[in-house]
Chain A
Amino acid sequence: MTDTNIVLRMAPVEADQLARLVDELKNVIASGRDGGDPAVSRLTPSPYPDDRTASEEFEASTRDDLLDRRAADAETMLSGLSGLRSLVQDEAFEERDLRIAAEDVDPWMRTLTALRLVLASRLASSTSSRNRPATPSSSTTGSAIAWSCSCRPRTPWADRSRNLDDSRRPPSRIIAIEMRLLLTRPSIPVWPIGVAVPRERPGLPRRLVRLHPHPHVRKGRGRRSEDAAALHEDGASRIDRVALRNGVVLPVPPAPRPGGAEGMRSEDRLERVRDAAVESVPARIDRVHRDELDRICTRPGIDDHPRESRLARTAPTVDQHDRGTRADGAHIIDDQTSGATQRDRDRVVTS
């Protein structure tokens, strides 16, 4: 199955972000060697859960090797990504071929799996992750790993791949890469993720929403979509637009007024936005970058623009990003993000 090389299309900025995740994975492994970190324990499960002695014996003789191999796999993946990581302003978002040699496919997949296991473990230990994605500032780990968790879609593959029906999948981009490794699909649609922007009311929380591309999946469950419910709780009537990546802002249809029947239910409103999102930004909506969303969510003043028309062009972009707000050196990417933002803005039709 691994006779041939696999070619991924990947932009340098993506390679860089992915590599940083893998870097973090390596750190987690290195610092969790002594035990005590549930994420590392998940990478080295006990084969004898009911037999403590046998379990300890097995662990004593295998754990270090196992973690060594994870680190070595991660290193393989990093060196595979290294060619793409060099960030030059104009090329950061230009997808290029990333060739993965046949013998490297397994290390890649094991690393991605390990990464997802760590993510899942971190996620499980966080209480608020299910309905309300953790933002970087509120996450316990304060890391890209936690942030990536918050960007995960729910059932992106439900209708695309017959085997994959699980609704608890970790980050979209990792899955996207993994799926390409598995299926070598040319392109994989991923749910648009947007930020619900409150209507010119400073102090109202912005909220990440996922725009479900397959409404019937959700309807089948017979319950209200969590995002719509969340919007409702947050005062949906005051949220009038959803900012997608790179400057795309979509209007949200009006909410019902307190006294009358005018307007639409939160679910329908979101659905309307979703349709518009899928229509206006085909194919590449999966390129939601951690840093961008990070900035969209945390930057003050995103909704301070007085006029919608101006906001539609400029609001969620990163032109005036706050330098030095991240401790992990993300500013290296910022310039490139801005450059691509400009280009994307030119390309995308905003309403």
Chain B
Amino acid sequence: MGMSAPIATPDLDLDLDLAAAPMEPWQVVVWNDPVNLMSYVVRVFRTYFGYSQEHANRLMLAVHHDGHAIVATGPRETMEVHAQAMHDYGLWATVRKAGS
């Protein structure tokens, strides 16, 4: 066989203009509710996000005292997955653009 020219040279239409899709960070925000136990919320943060006890506790207390806390930041789709996981656990989570 050896080296040979490619059989076909597909006509690629490369879009190199990535400015149209900026890597805008999004956030998952967990909101306070009167139902979920604090220890449960900490547990969810720890098991799902893998946060340390201290970090999870801090987030939980932020939710409790400030009414909400940003628990994750990243691409929108990932954040939606996280939000849905939070909904799975019965936490009230929303997704928003960072800085909004």
Contact = CB atoms under 8 A, between A and B. Distances in A.
Interface string A75-118: 00000000000000000000000000000001001100110110
A80 B95 CA distance: 35
Given A1-B47, A182-B40, A120 B34 contact: yes
B34 A163 contact: no
A224 B93 CA distance: 37
B83 interface: yes
A45 interface: yes
A170 B89 CA distance: 17
A161 B35 contact: no
A62 B94 contact: no
B93 A45 contact: yes
A188 interface: no
> Chain A, interface size: which category?
20 to 34
A47 B94 contact: yes
Nearest to A49: B94
Nearest to A113: B90
A48 B40 CA distance: 24
A332 B77 CA distance: 50
Interface string A6-44: 000000000000000000000000000000000000011
A44 B95 contact: no
A164 interface: yes
Interface string B28-54: 000001111111101100110000000
B90 A110 contact: yes
A168 interface: yes
A113 B36 contact: yes
Nearest to B95: A47
A46 B94 CA distance: 7
Most chain B CB neighbours (cut-off 10 Å) among A45, A66, A168: A45
Interface string B75-99: 0000010011001111011111000
Nearest to B47: A1
Contact of A178 (B34, B37, B83): B37
Contacts of A183: 39
Given A1-B47, A43-B87, A110-B90, A48 B36 contact: no
B46 A1 contact: yes
Interface string B55-66: 000001000000
Contacts of B46: 1
A194 to B, nearest CB: 25
A248 interface: no
Given A1-B47, A58-B80, A166-B34, A182 B90 contact: no
A163 B58 CA distance: 12
A1 B34 contact: no
Nearest to B82: A47
B58 to A, nearest CB: 13
A175 interface: yes
A115 to B, nearest CB: 9
A113 B34 contact: no
A110 B89 contact: yes
A44 B39 CA distance: 22
Contact of B83 (A1, A47, A175): A47
A28 to B, nearest CB: 14
Interface of B: 33-40, 42-43, 46-47, 60, 80, 83-84, 87-90, 92-96
Given A116-B36, A168-B35, A178-B40, 9 more contacts: A47-B94, A48-B96, A66-B88, A109-B43, A110-B88, A114-B90, A120-B33, A166-B34, A182-B43
A-B CB proximity, top 3 nearest: A113-B90, A163-B38, A47-B83
21 contacts: A1-B46, A43-B90, A45-B87, A45-B92, A46-B94, A47-B87, A47-B94, A62-B84, A109-B40, A110-B88, A110-B89, A113-B90, A114-B90, A116-B35, A163-B38, A163-B42, A163-B60, A168-B35, A178-B37, A179-B37, A182-B40
